[in-house]
Amino acid sequence: MCGIVGAIAQRNIVPILLEGLQRLEYRGYDSAGLVVVSEGQLTRMRSTGRVAELSNISADIQGTIGIAHTRWATHGVPSERNAHPHMSRDLIAVVHNGIIENYEAIRTRLVAGGYEFASDTDTEVIAHLIHSHYVNGKTLLGATQAALTELVGAYAIGVIASDNPDQLICARRGSPLLMGIGIGENFFASDVSALLPVTNKVVYLEDGDVVEMGRQSYRIRDAAGEIVARPVQFSEISNESVQLGNYRHYMQKEIHEQPRAIADTLESVSNSHSIVPGIFGAEAAACFADIDSILILACGTSYHAGLVARYWLEEIAGIQCTVEIASEYRYRTSVANPRALVVVLSQSGETADTQAALSHAKSLGHVHTLAICNVPESALVRQSKLRFLTRAGPEIGVASTKAFTTQLVALFLLTLVLAKLRGRLTAEVEQLHLHSLRHLPAATQKVLDLEPQIAKLAEQFACKRHALFLGRGLHYPIALEGALKLKEISYIHAEAYPAGELKHGPLALVDKDMPVISVAPNDMLLEKLKSNLHEVRARGGELYVFADAGTHIREEEGVHIMQMPEHAGFLSPILHTIPLQLLAYYVALQKGTDVDKPRNLAKSVTVE
Ligand code: M6R
């Protein structure tokens, strides 16, 4: 949830740390701080609020070695005293992303040993623990390794000492961390985007790795303390892809990137005459031949993608599918079917609950696992037997947009592969689906053209306090996703219901002040949906209907129509998502919220 970055160089690294933090701010943004070693002393600056505040107060600091942090509070309120880096007796400084579960016991012991705590964080115990080993004669590396053996929980940390200006230590277990290699300088960060201005030569660290970095060299030790070589890679993420360009917000940019993101995700099939299991990994054919059901595990928006897939998988592939919220599944005593394919869905691949759910599934005897993920080398990808990488590119806005639509594309491909293997897809129908998929980027672009109308519509929402989203069948999860987007960035309370469920309770909420947003595809449930909409109108509810061409829902008093293109069949949920993303975006603009960094949230939820 937090972002960390560190650098050791022959030049002043403060601008590098600040730029890195700016790029990691999506991971947490309630406070930030940095520390450098200069003239044998630790010089630390911290501030609440955004990295920009930290930049303002750090102009006069210089150093050639330092670490920095942007925070999403877990232990202790957002405040300067709880902001990282945390220090021990002006000798050791630490930044940390993750959670130390046994920090209370360690803290009690350290207090008894004479350590004074200056914050409410779990992280501060790491600084004092390292200090206690360091002053007892261990090297900085040895002291860090000794401290890490005492920690229970997840961490990615960076460590420096005031009397050791030539060594930077970093380590990870359970939280993402990579190194960047420069010429005469080295770096670490939670995410490659933080390092792109200085290098694209990176090493993804494994769980348990501890790294000693100097300016000219580095050494990685694994969990057993053995020196290991990890592959050096050249990140393909371009510096431009993480820049805002001409857009006002990352969310807007990412909504507009969807035609390209979908096209890239479809690359493996767009020039092919058929869909093959191999796109999910070399072992996919054997694995898919052995499965009799699907279990999808995910959180938030990714969970909504799973809910859409359930309709596809059962109807098109005829395979039974269950979708579970990862944070619930991980603690549920469920009956495992070892012949089920466990599919974990995640933009980041680092979501703690989804990782724990995957581990739980494996512990219950599940052997077939597939990660559909947007981040190569992420934990979920590494921990799954099969993988499909969506090609959305870096998603910076906290509200997930292009990651969702590309997940849907991947899940549709999975559906077609399984349908084919199960003898439920004729060659002719396969070609029809392939044709629709190839047309999807253009169809997406057509929906994006509705942007000016949706921006206008959003003006009517700024004064609303609640909203209801309706959908049916395949589009019920799209209503859920629309409601999540709206509440997440505009702070308007929004709920979603399958439209047929209205009369079982939620209709009581409907009055003239309750906008009701409905997804209205021209599908077999259209007439049922129309009846539900009449029920709303009869109670004075104001209707906003995203209707496909040919639905014949008329614009009239209290009924506002957004005209969508012609119905896109099974791919319709992908298209109907886009106007709801735009609606949430423009309502948030009206309300003046911080679109890319909504309050209380962070992009990657790497803590429980
Ligand atoms: O990285 P993941 O897809 O695993 O993240 C899951 C959720 O935290 C995420 O989708 C969240 O709900 C988004 N902020 C919603 O826009």
CA distances from residue 399 to 26, 351, 447, 516, 601 in whole angstroms, order as listed: 10, 15, 19, 22, 9
- Tens-place pLDDT, residues 222-279: 999 999 999 999 988 877 778 888 999 999 999 999 999 999 999 878 777 889 999 9
Of the candidates 304, 278, 281, which has an alpha carbon nearest to the alpha carbon of residue 408? 304
- Give me the amino acid identity at 518: S
Confidence of residue 197 (pLDDT cuts 50, 70, 90): very high
Question: How confident is the model at residue 237, as a pLDDT?
Answer: 81
CA of 347 to the centre of ligand 1 (A): 7
pLDDT tens digits, one per residue of 378-429: 889 989 999 999 999 999 999 999 999 999 999 999 999 999 999 999 999 9
Active-site residue, from 2, 170, 287, 373: 2
* Protein residue with its CA nearest to atom 11 in ligand 1: 300
Average pLDDT over residues 277-288: 95
pLDDT at 462 over 90: no
Instruction: Give the distance (Å) from ligand 1 centre to CA of residue 150.
Output: 31
Cα of 300 from ligand 1 centre, angstroms:
5
Encode pLDDT of 423-459 as tens digits: 999 999 999 999 999 999 999 999 999 999 999 999 9
Active site residue 603: yes
pLDDT band of residue 17 (cuts 50, 70, 90) is very high
pLDDT in tens, 29-38: 889 999 999 9
- For residue 299, the ligand 1 atom closest to its alpha carbon is 6
What is the position in ligand 1's atom list of the atom closest to the CA of 380?
4
Map out the domains of the chain with their CATH numbers: 3-242 (3.60.20.10), 250-443 (3.40.50.10490), 451-591 (3.40.50.10490)
298 CA closest ligand 1 atom index: 4
The mean per-residue pLDDT over the stretch 195-218 comes to 96
Residue 99 has pLDDT above 90, yes or no: no
Ligand 1: nearest atom to the Cα of 603: 14
Ligand 1 mutation target, pool 249, 255, 302, most atoms within 8 A of CB: 302
Which residues in 298-337 are b (16+ Cβ under 10 Å) and which e?
A: bbbbbbbbbbbbbbbbeebbebebebbbbbebbeeeeeeb
d(CA 177, CA 175): 7
Atom of ligand 1 nearest to the CA of 300: 12
Nearest CA to ligand 1 atom 12: 300
Ligand 1 center–CA 352 separation, angstroms? 11
Atom 4 of ligand 1, nearest CA residue: 346
Atom of ligand 1 nearest to the CA of 403: 3
Give residue 146's pLDDT: 97
Nearest CA to ligand 1 atom 14: 399
Atom of ligand 1 nearest to the CA of 407: 3
Distance CA 486, CA 466 (A): 10
- Spacing, Cα 236 to ligand 1 middle (Å): 23
Ligand 1 center to residue 148 CA distance, Å? Answer: 29
Contacts of residue 292, defined as CB under 8 A and 6 or more positions apart, other chains included, come to 319, 320, 337, 339, 340
pLDDT category at 571 given cuts 50, 70, 90 is: very high
Q: Which residue lies with its CA nearest to atom 7 of ligand 1?
A: 300
> Mean pLDDT over residues 504-512, rounded?
90
117 CA distance to ligand 1 middle (Å): 34
Residues 40-57: b if buried by 16+ CB within 10 A, e if exposed: eebbbbbbbebbeebbee
Q: In degrees, to the nearest 5, what angle opens at C-alpha 510 toward C-alphas 504 and 511?
A: 155
Q: Is the pLDDT of residue 373 over 90?
A: yes
- Ligand 1 pocket check: which of 250, 308, 347, 354 to mutate, most ligand atoms within 8 Å of Cβ? 347
Average of per-residue pLDDT values in the chain: 94
CA distance 380 to 236: 20
Q: Under 8 Å CB-to-CB from 291, ≥6 apart: which residues?
A: 319, 339, 340, 341, 368
- Active-site position among 402, 464, 597, 603: 603
For 52, residues 6+ apart whose C-beta sits below 8 A from its C-beta are: 22
Q: pLDDT at residue 201 above 80?
A: yes
The residues facing 16 across adjacent strands are: none
What's the 234 CA to ligand 1 centre distance in angstroms? 27
**Atom 9 (ligand 1): residue with closest C-alpha?**
300
pLDDT above 90: residue 74: no
Query: How are strands ordered across the β-sheet holding 31-38?
Result: 41-48, 31-38, 65-71, 3-8, 186-189, 178-181, 201-204, 233-234
Among protein residues, the one with the nearest Cα to ligand 1's atom 16 is 399
Q: Is 76 left (phi over 0), alpha (psi -120 to 50) or beta?
A: left
Ligand 1, residues at Cβ distance < 6 Å:
299-302, 346-348, 351, 354, 398-400, 484, 488, 604-605
Task: Indicate the top mutation candidate among 605, 606, 607, 608 to test ligand 1's pocket, ranked by most ligand atoms within 8 A of CB.
Answer: 605
User: What separation in Å is there between the alpha carbon of 548 and the centre of ligand 1?
Assistant: 28
Residue of the CA atom closest to atom 8 of ligand 1 = 300
Residue 606 reports pLDDT greater than 80? no
- Note if 485 is an active site residue: no
Residue 531 has pLDDT above 90, yes or no: no
Kindly indicate the confidence band of residue 68, based on its pLDDT and cuts at 50, 70 and 90.
very high
Report the residue among 175, 251, 327, 348 best suited for mutation to probe ligand 1: largest number of ligand atoms under 8 A from its CB.
Answer: 348
